Amino acid sequence: MAKDLTEDRLSRTGGVPLKVAIAVAVFGVLSMLIVDHGPWNKPKVQHPVFANYSTTGEAARAAGAQVMPTEPRLDVEPEPPVPKPVHPANPAPR
């Protein structure tokens, strides 16, 4: 009886879906690496002498955007609405 179970376990062919899933995963990871880090996807950094604008604000204004400063923060920020801490049940003796 034990020999029958061993033979059955050796002749099983249930690993095909697992092998297909691993192959698809490896193919996906390799294709992402090639697309993200390929030789055609290198950043084109310009030297500051040849760049048209020195700041992001200048580039935005040249494109027609309105650059607005952010509102200044208050000197004294209000306390956030959080629950008050609870006093311990047995305070330490003073």
Cα distance from N-terminal residue to C-terminal residue, the chain: 78
How crowded is residue 79: how many other Cβ atoms within 10 Å of its Cβ? 6
pTM of the prediction? 0.37
Q: 35 with 27: CB under 8 angstroms? A: no
- Quick one: what percent of the chain has pLDDT higher than 70? 77
CA proximity to 56, closest of 47, 67, 45, 48: 67
pLDDT in tens, 47-93: 766 677 778 888 888 889 988 888 887 777 777 777 777 776 776 77
- Per-residue DSSP letter, 3: H
Instruction: State the pLDDT confidence band at 30, using cuts at 50, 70 and 90.
Output: very high
